[in-house]
Structure 1
Amino acid sequence: MTSDLVIRAPRAILPGGEGPAAVAIAGGRIVAITSVDAPVDARAEITLAPDEVLLPGAVDTHVHVNEPGRTAWEGFDSATRAARAGGVTTLIDMPLNSIPPTTTPAALDAKRAAATGKTHVTVGFWGGAVPENLGSLRELWDAGVFGFKCFLAPSGVDEFGHLDRGQLRSAMEEIAGFGGRLIVHAEDPAGLLPHAGGRDYQGFVDSRPEASELSAIAAVIDGVRATGVRAHILHLSAASALPLVAAAKAEGLPLTAETCPHYLTFDAEHIPAGGTQFKCCPPIRDAANREALWAALADGTIDFVASDHSPATAELKLAGAGDFAAAWGGIAGLQVSVAAVWTGARARGFPLADAVGWVSTRPAAWAGLGGKGAISVGRDADLVAFAPDAPFEVHAADLEHRNPVSAFDGARLMGRARRVWIGGSETADGVMIGRP
Structure 2
Amino acid sequence: MFDTVLVANRGEIALRVVRSCQEMGIRTVVVHSTADADSAAVRAADVAVQIGPPPARRSYLFAPALVEAALATGAQAVHPGYGFLSEDPDFAEICADNGLVFVGPPPEVMARLGDKASARAAMAEAGLPLLPGSRSTVDSAAEATALAAEIGYPVIIKATAGGGGRGMTVVRDPRDLAKAYRSTRAVGQAVFGNSSVYMERFCESARHVEVQVLADSYGEVVHLGERDCSVQRRHQKLIEESPAPELPESLRRRMAEASVAGAKAVGYVGAGTFEYLVVDDEFYFMEINCRIQVEHPVTEMVTGIDLVREQLRVAAGLPLSLEFDGRGVSLECRVNAEDPDRDYLPAAGLIDEFVPPGGPFTRVDTHARAGWRISPDYDSLLAKVVVWAPDRPQAVARMRRALSEFRITGKGIRTTIPALLRILDTPEFVKGVHDTSLISKLGTAT
Task: Compute the TM-score of the two structures, normalised by the length of structure 1.
Answer: 0.29
- Bigger strand fraction: 2
| Structure with the larger RCO, 1 or 2 (CA within 8 Å, 6+ apart) | 1
